[in-house]
Structures are given as structure tokens and as C-alpha cells.
């Protein structure tokens, strides 16, 4: 009964601390999310987009598991691509907290925000249990719990609930210690469960969890005979956990094999690496260093001090990994330990080394707790009341940390069932069928407009129709050809191909400039146009056939496009084209800000051009390059898709996404066609000024 009472008190305290430290979040669980603010890496991802993405992921998990569990990974975005849940985290590790809330309240926002709040209580509780188990000091355990739960690292990633699942990490050394020192299967099982749930919460945390366990076991095996005696038992727990993770991650393995999930670029790794000394746990680091001489004295009688050493190794190694693939010391650039892990399966997709700082936060907070406990124990032997003073200071410091944490927290309203645009409530009652929302914002080609596609992804939880739009960590192979077709609308053939490839049933028009009357008559499949609030919904008749879907989804080994055009390198006689601007190009643009150009393309050769396929090998594409005026030196180039195959004499207007170079000044923009990065002879050019940021472009 005493254990139950203690646990009840701990749960109550952890809940109160979580509410106070994140206030006023608990007062607005149904209507607000954390305001992530601006992101210096916005060209690569958006914090607000990640909030909408995780809202959708958790809601999809519950929807799929309660309606069609075997189709869990066949999520409703990026239709018609399969396994689209595997394009980002699956957040299955959050379901023990999220699922009961979602089933009880049927409110994706409340369940998401309450789960986020839960992570703070769980992080505090996990760290406190670790430190108390080793030291016996509740004041020190509470301080360590606060230092970890409200560390700068955790407070800085409130937009990313998948990363806040790091509350399992402090339990790894606790469970490993007990599995080594106590009999029975319960502790190895709990160790395996912690590893699995960490990984299913986020693969970033999964790699960190397995690295943490490897470091703890490697260090403690040197000084703890019990670890050596039961090493195979501990290793077995890790192997079982890894096997479970691999089985549940098979869709990610398939996506990696298909090239959908690719390796992170060196530039991205550099941008997302930590800086030396910036651990995300400054307060814990200062206290851990200040009390380090007393840390080894904190352990209960008979415990080996090697476990405290393991905490220090965990902190140092975690921060070293967070520094990324290269570390600069004294002007000398050296390879970092991060590169060693790149041999691990799937690790090439690890895009943010700084997230390994979670190991530093765990190690430093636990070390700080041990140091304070050791100081109190040493002080108590010196003077009767000294231990009380030290414990009191620990409690005061914990209270101050919690009070300061909530001061920097800001919230923003999020759409709910009662506030989303009426068209989504209308779709919830409409017959099932794939939905397309226009204007379409290609998240690959227009990265600065990802927020809107992420918001549409979240809004789909209120109707669950398959959605051609989408936002995630990656895009599937079918996304590029679908995007090209969508951006060619209202071209009648583009609409026809789109219907035959996706089964498109509903088109939501958010912009009155898109006029459905220009898309053809009912013979083109338009059954009706509905005005719903400020939007219009174009209802399409179900297509007579989905003949283009199977070849679009199975591009490997095909010798023709889904439309039947042969995939082969074209001879010079087939590279004849006519090009003209369908609308005047802009005279000035901003550096790095992608903009569209409408280009009219006509095939004047005697050979059909392949253009519509999932893979881009041998496709005829639109190319652009930026040249310095007068010199002809190309400073940047890129390619975009034609919407469909072009027969001899056929023409199409393509929307080409063009990204300007970062160097301001007058430039020459050259457009043309090409195949396999080889340009056709005909080109079209225009003068464009790249305006420095902050200036207003002329015209």
C-alpha cells in the first residue's frame, strides 16, 4: 500500500508540475496549439507545418486502427500512393496516452494537446524515478525531473510531439540496472518495451535509445560484475526490441528501397547540427559540473559508481553526436562520431544531428540529481541541518525552473470541427472519393508554401477522403506526375489523365480565379458544381476506368509510360520543339523564392515524347538555367515535369516551378526541354533581375 500511495503522490505531483510549467496550455486544450514562431530553416521545413502533421498522424492512427488496422500505413494523403504514413513518423509510441483520450473525447486537438501535456509529466516522473532509485533522495530526484522535463531542448521542440516522447530514455538506465541486479523477466521486458515505444514515438528517439543502451552497457560492464554476468540477458532484450521495431517498420524499408526516403544532404546535416557547448540543457550542465565531485557519493550503499560514470559518458557522447558529421576545433575540421553511425540501417535518413542532444539532456539532468543527492549526503554527515538546507535549495530551484518555463510559452488558435471552413463539414457527408484542393501547392517545388498543404492534411481528419494534396517528411514517386497534371488544369486532357490515374471525385476550389467552366462540359466528367461557404466543389462523375493507376504505381521495369509512349533516349530528330511564354514572366524575383512560369510547349517532331510516369528516367522535361548576362555562365539550373506525353504536333501549357539563384543582380533565364539532363536545341530566354531581400521588385 505504501508503494501505491507513493506512486499516486508522484503522479499527482508530476501532473501539477506539467500543468504549471506549460501554463496556459492546459486551459486551452481544445482550441489552441503551441505557437512555434519563425524557423531559420524554413526553406527545409516549417514548425507550424509539423504541428498540423502530427495532429493528422495521431488522428489517422486511431482512425485506421479502429476501422481497417491492416491498412494502417495506407494513409489518406498523397493519393494514389500506397503506404504514405511511412513518409514520416508514425507516432504509434504515443498511442498509450493518445488513444484513450481520442476514443473518449473524439477530439483530435484535445487528444493531441493532452498527450503533449502528458509528455512533461512523464518526463519528470521518469527522471525522478531514475535518480531516486539510485540515490534515495526525493528532493534531488524532483530537481532532476524538472531539469529534464523543462530543459531548453524539450521546451524548444513543443511543435514536435514525436520528439517529446523522450520520456522513455531516463528509464533505460533504470531498467538496465534492475535487469542486471534483480531476477525475473519483468525488467528485461520493460527494457525492451521502452526501446520499442521510444522508436515508435520517433525514429530519432529510437536511434538515441539504442545508442544510449549500448553506451550504458559498455561502460557499466567494465565495473559492475552483475552486468557482465547478465550481459546476454540485457543484450537479448535489445535484440527482441530491435526485431519488433524492424517488423513494424517494414513499410519504411520498402520506401527506402524504392528511393522515396533518401539520405540527407551534407548541407542539411550541417544546418541542423548543434554548436559546441549548446546542449539544450544548460541549467542541468551547470549544476552537474558544480556538484560533480559529490555525484559518486550519491549512490545507495553497495552500488558501483560506474553507473554514475555511465551518465557522464552518455552526456558527452550525446552532445558529440549532436555536433554532426564534422567538428571544428581550433580552426581544424575533424570528422565527428556522427559519421560512425551512418553504417546503421536507415541512419542515412537521419536529418537533424542536434536531436542527439536528448542524450546530453538525460545524462546531465541525472548527473545533476546525483550530484545534489551526494552533496546533501556529505553535508548531512558534517552538520545536522546542512542536509535539510541542501534539500530545500533543490526544491526551491525546481520550483523556480517550473515557474520560468511557462513564461516563454505562447499559443495560437487551431481550427476545430466548429471553426474549420464549411466545405470540410460538407465533404464529411459527401459520398467517398478522392479530393483535390486548389490552388495546389507542390511541397517539393514550393517549400515556402508548405504550411497550407500541411493545414489541408490536418483538415482531412474531419472527412477522411483520400487526398491528392499532402504534406509529410518525404513525397512518394507518384507525387511529381500528379502535381504536373494538377498544375496544368484546366487543361481537359490533364483532367482526363488525372481521373484515370487517381479516380478523382471532388475538386475544392478555394480561389475564384479558378473557373470550372473552362474545364469542359459534362462530357469531360464534370457532374455538378456546388457552392459551399466561400469555396466551390466540382463534383466529377466516377471515371469509367482506372487503367492508368496500376502502371503508375508499378514503374519498375516498364518500357513504356502509363499512356503507352516508349521510354527510350530520343534521337536528335525527335528533339524538335516550339516554345513560347503563355503569360509574361516576372521582370524581377527574390533570391531562392520559387515562382511559376507558364510555358507553351509543342512537339514538332515525328516521335511521341514520354512525360507521364512515376520515375523520371527518359522523360522529356522542362529545364531552366540562370546565366550571367554576357558571359553565358550558368549559376543554377533545374527541371520540372510536363503533365502528360506529347504526340507529334500536340501542345500543352505547363506550369514550370523556377527557383532563382541566391546571388542578386541581373540574370538571363533560359528555358527549354531536355531528357536525362541533356538539353534539346530549342530554348527561350528572358531577362530577370534577382532583387536583394528587403527591396521591392519593380512592376
pLDDT at 344 over 90: no
Contacts of 291 (CB under 8 A, 6+ apart): 368, 370, 371, 372, 374, 375
Average pLDDT over residues 434-441: 95
Q: Is residue 122 located within the same domain as residue 155?
A: yes
Taking the CB of residue 163, how many other CB atoms lie within 10 A of it? 24
Residues 6+ apart with CB under 8 A from 584: none
Q: What is the 3-state secondary structure (H, E, C) of 62-90?
A: HHHHHHCHHHCCCCCCCCCCCCHHHHCCC
180 occurs within a structural domain: yes
| Overall average pLDDT of the 94-101 stretch | 97
Q: Kindly report the CA angle at 17 between 14 and 22, in degrees rounded to 5?
A: 125
Residue 618: inside a domain: yes
What is the mean predicted confidence (pLDDT) over 463-477?
96
Between vectors from CA 204 to CA 200 and to CA 206, what angle results, nearest 5°?
50
Q: How far is CA 568 from its chain centroid?
A: 37
> Per-residue confidence at 44, pLDDT binned at 50, 70, 90?
very low
Q: Is residue 345 part of a domain?
A: yes
Q: Pick from 424, 422, 547, 567: which is nearest to 497 by CA?
A: 547
One domain for residues 146 and 250: yes
Same structural domain for residues 534 and 593?
A: no
404 and 431 together in one domain: no
User: Which residues face 670 on adjacent strands?
Assistant: 625, 685
Q: Which of 31-45, 329-343, 479-493, 624-638 has the lowest mean pLDDT?
A: 31-45
**pLDDT, mean of residues 5-18:** 85
* Percent of the chain with pLDDT strictly greater than 90: 70
Determine the distance from the C-alpha atom of residue 13 to the mean position of all C-alpha atoms in its chain, rounded to a whole number.
32
pLDDT at residue number 127: 97
Name the average pLDDT for the chain: 90
For 550-606, how does the pLDDT look when each residue is reduced to its tens digit (9 = 90+)? 999 987 778 999 999 999 999 999 999 999 999 999 999 999 999 999 999 999 999
C-alpha distances (whole Å) from 156 to each of 34, 161, 163, 552 are 11, 11, 10, 41
- The model's pLDDT over 122-158, given as tens digits with 9 standing for 90+, comes to 999 999 999 999 999 998 999 999 999 999 999 989 9
Residue 221 predicted with pLDDT over 80: yes
CA angle, corner 223, sides to 220 and 225, nearest 5? 90
Q: Could you tell me whether strands 678-690 and 588-589 are parallel, antiparallel, or unpaired per DSSP bridges?
A: parallel
What's the confidence (pLDDT) of residue 395?
A: 63
Predicted confidence at residue 8, as pLDDT, reads 85
Could you report the per-residue pLDDT of 272-287, keeping only the tens digit for each?
A: 888 888 999 999 999 9
At a CB cut-off of 8 Å and minimum separation 6, what does 593 contact? 448, 659, 660
Domains in the chain, number = 3
195-208 mean pLDDT: 96
Asked if residue 345 has pLDDT above 90, the reply is: no
Same domain for 489 and 624? no
403 in a structural domain? yes
Separation CA 162–CA 95 (nearest Å) = 11
Is the pLDDT at 291 greater than 60? The verdict is: yes
pLDDT band, residue 674 (cuts 50/70/90): very high
What is residue 587's predicted lDDT score, i.e. its pLDDT?
92
Same domain, 640 and 549: no
Spatial distance between the Cα atoms of 310 and 299, rounded to a whole number of angstroms = 13
Which of 48, 45, 26 has the alpha carbon at shortest distance from 37?
48
Model confidence pLDDT, tens digit, residues 294-308: 988 888 878 899 999
State the residue range of the domain holding 363.
89-411
More confident residue, 254 or 518: 254
Residue 339's pLDDT band (cuts 50, 70, 90): confident
- The CA distance from 325 to 330, in Å, is 17
> What is the per-residue pLDDT for 302?
80
Query: Do residue 244 and residue 384 come from a single domain?
Result: yes
- Domain shared by 597 and 677, yes or no: yes
Looking at 411, 437, 469, which one is the last position of a domain? 411
> pLDDT tens across 624-648, in order?
999 998 777 788 889 999 999 999 9
What is the mean pLDDT of the segment spanning 77-89? 96
Does 577 reside within a domain?
yes
Is 371 domain-assigned?
Answer: yes
Is 141:129 a contact under the CB 8 Å cutoff?
A: yes
For every residue of 402-458, DSSP letters joined together read: HHHHGGG--EEE---TTTS-HHHHHHHHSPS--EEEES---TTT-GGGHHHHHHHHH
Cα angle for residues 391, 392, 393 (degrees, 5° grid): 90
| 585 and 650 inside one domain | yes
Q: 340 in a domain, yes or no?
A: yes
Q: What is the CATH number of the domain that holds 583?
A: 2.60.40.10
Dump pLDDT digits (tens) for 506-539: 999 997 656 666 555 444 678 888 999 999 999 9
Distance separating alpha carbons of residues 44 and 447, to the nearest angstrom: 7
- End position of a domain, from candidates 366, 387, 411: 411
| CB 365 within 8 Å of CB 320 | no
- Domain contains 73: no
Name the residue with higher pLDDT: 184 or 482: 482
User: What's the grid cell of residue 429?
Assistant: 457527408
- Whether 223 and 179 map to the same domain: the answer is yes
> Does the pLDDT of residue 232 top 80, yes or no?
yes
The Cα–Cα gap between 132 and 143 comes to 11
Say whether both 350 and 441 belong to one domain: no
For the chain, the helix, strand and coil percentages under 3-state DSSP, each to the nearest 5: 50, 15, 35
- Of the pLDDT bands very low, low, confident and very high (cuts 50, 70, 90), residue 41 is very low
Which pLDDT score is estimated for 254? 87
Phi-psi region at 694: left, alpha or beta (left = phi > 0; alpha = psi -120 to 50) = left
- 401 pLDDT band, cuts 50/70/90, is low
Lowest mean pLDDT among 68-72, 160-164, 405-409, 427-431: 405-409
Which residue has better confidence, 526 or 218?
218
C-alpha dist (Å) from residue 408 to 156, 283, 621? 10, 16, 49
From 366, 382, 411, give the residue that closes a domain: 411
Based on the fold, state whether residues 235 and 115 are members of the same structural domain. Answer: yes
Amino acid at each position: 500500500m505504501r508503494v501505491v500511495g507513493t506512486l499516486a503522490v508522484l503522479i499527482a505531483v508530476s501532473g501539477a508540475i506539467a500543468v504549471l510549467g506549460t501554463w496556459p496550455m492546459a486551459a486551452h486544450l481544445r482550441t489552441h496549439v503551441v505557437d512555434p514562431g519563425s524557423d531559420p530553416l524554413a526553406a527545409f521545413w516549417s514548425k507550424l507545418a509539423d504541428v498540423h502533421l502530427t495532429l493528422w498522424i495521431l488522428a489517422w492512427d486511431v482512425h485506421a486502427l479502429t476501422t481497417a488496422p491492416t491498412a494502417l500505413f495506407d494513409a489518406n494523403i498523397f493519393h494514389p500512393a500506397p503506404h504514405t504514413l511511412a513518409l514520416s513518423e508514425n507516432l504509434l509510441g504515443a498511442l498509450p496516452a493518445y488513444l484513450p483520450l481520442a476514443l473518449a473525447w473524439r477530439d483530435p486537438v484535445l487528444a493531441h494537446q493532452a498527450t503533449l501535456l502528458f509528455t512533461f509529466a512523464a518526463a519528470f516522473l521518469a527522471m525522478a524515478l531514475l535518480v531516486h532509485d539510485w540515490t534515495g533522495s526525493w528532493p534531488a530526484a524532483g530537481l532532476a525531473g524538472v531539469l529534464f522535463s523543462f530543459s531548453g531542448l524539450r521546451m524548444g521542440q513543443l511543435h514536435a510531439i514525436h520528439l517529446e516522447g523522450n520520456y522513455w530514455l531516463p528509464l533505460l538506465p533504470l531498467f538496465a540496472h534492475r535487469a542486471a541486479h534483480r531476477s525475473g523477466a519483468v525488467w528485461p521486458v520493460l527494457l525492451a518495451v521502452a526501446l520499442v515505444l521510444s522508436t515508435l514515438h520517433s525514429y530519432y528517439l529510437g536511434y538515441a535509445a539504442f545508442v544510449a543502451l549500448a553506451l550504458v552497457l559498455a561502460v557499466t560492464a567494465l565495473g559492475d560484475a552483475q552486468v557482465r554476468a547478465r550481459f546476454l540477458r540485457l543484450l537479448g532484450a535489445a535484440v527482441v526490441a530491435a526485431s519488433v521495431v524492424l517488423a513494424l517498420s517494414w513499410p519504411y524499408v520498402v520506401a527506402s528501397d524504392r528511393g522515396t526516403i533518401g539520405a540527407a544532404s551534407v548541407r542539411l546535416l550541417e544546418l541542423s547540427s548543434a554548436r559546441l557547448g549548446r546542449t539544450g540543457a544548460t541549467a542541468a550542465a551547470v549544476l552537474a559540473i558544480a556538484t560533480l565531485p559529490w555525484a559518486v557519493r550519491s549512490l545507495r550503499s553497495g552500488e558501483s559508481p560506474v553507473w554514475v560514470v555511465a551518465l557522464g559518458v552518455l552526456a558527452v557522447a550525446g552532445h558529440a553526436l549532436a555536433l554532426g558529421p564534422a567538428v571544428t576545433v581550433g580552426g581544424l575540421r575533424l570528422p565527428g562520431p556522427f559519421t560512425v553511425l551512418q553504417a546503421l540501417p536507415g541512419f542515412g535518413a537521419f536529418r537533424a544531428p542536434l536531436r542527439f542532444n536528448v542524450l546530453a539532456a538525460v545524462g546531465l539532468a541525472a548527473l545533476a540529481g546525483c550530484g545534489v543527492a551526494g552533496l546533501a549526503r556529505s553535508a548531512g554527515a558534517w552538520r545536522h541541518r546542512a542536509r535539510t538546507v541542501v534539500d530545500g535549495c533543490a526544491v526551491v530551484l525546481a520550483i523556480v525552473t517550473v515557474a520560468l518555463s511557462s513564461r516563454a510559452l505562447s499559443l495560437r488558435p487551431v481550427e476545430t470541427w466548429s471553426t474549420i471552413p464549411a466545405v470540410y463539414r460538407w465533404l464529411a457527408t459527401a459520398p467517398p472519393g478522392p479530393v483535390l484542393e486548389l490552388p495546389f501547392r507542390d511541397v517539393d517545388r514550393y517549400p515556402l508554401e508548405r504550411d497550407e498543404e500541411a493545414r489541408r492534411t490536418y483538415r482531412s481528419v474531419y472527412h477522411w477522403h483520400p487526398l491528392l494534396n499532402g504534406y509529410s517528411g518525404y513525397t512518394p514517386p507518384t507525387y511529381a506526375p500528379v502535381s504536373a497534371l494538377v498544375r496544368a488544369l484546366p487543361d481537359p486532357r490533364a483532367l482526363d489523365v488525372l481521373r484515370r490515374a487517381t479516380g478523382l471525385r471532388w475538386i475544392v476550389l478555394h480561389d475564384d480565379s479558378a473557373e470550372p467552366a473552362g474545364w469542359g462540359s459534362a462530357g469531360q466528367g464534370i457532374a455538378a458544381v456546388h457552392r459551399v461557404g466561400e469555396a466551390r466543389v466540382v463534383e466529377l462523375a466516377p471515371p469509367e476506368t482506372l487503367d492508368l493507376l496500376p502502371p503508375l504505381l508499378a514503374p519498375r521495369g516498364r518500357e513504356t509510360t502509363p499512356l503507352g509512349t516508349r521510354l527510350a533516349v530520343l534521337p536528335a530528330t525527335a528533339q524538335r520543339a516550339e516554345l513560347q511564354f503563355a503569360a509574361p514572366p516576372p521582370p524581377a524575383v527574390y533570391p531562392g523564392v520559387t515562382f511559376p512560369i507558364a510555358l507553351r510547349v509543342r512537339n514538332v517532331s515525328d516521335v511521341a515524347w514520354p512525360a507521364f510516369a512515376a520515375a523520371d528516367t527518359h522523360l522529356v522535361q522542362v529545364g531552366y538555367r540562370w546565366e550571367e548576362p554576357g558571359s553565358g555562365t550558368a549559376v543554377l539550373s533545374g527541371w520540372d515535369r510536363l503533365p502528360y506525353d506529347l504526340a507529334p504536333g500536340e501542345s500543352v501549357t505547363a506550369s514550370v516551378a523556377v527557383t532563382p539563384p541566391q546571388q542578386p543582380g541581373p540574370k538571363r533565364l533560359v528555358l527549354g526541354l531536355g531528357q536525362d539532363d541533356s538539353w534539346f536545341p530549342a530554348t527561350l530566354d528572358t531577362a530577370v533581375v534577382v532583387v536583394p531581400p528587403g527591396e521591392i521588385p519593380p512592376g
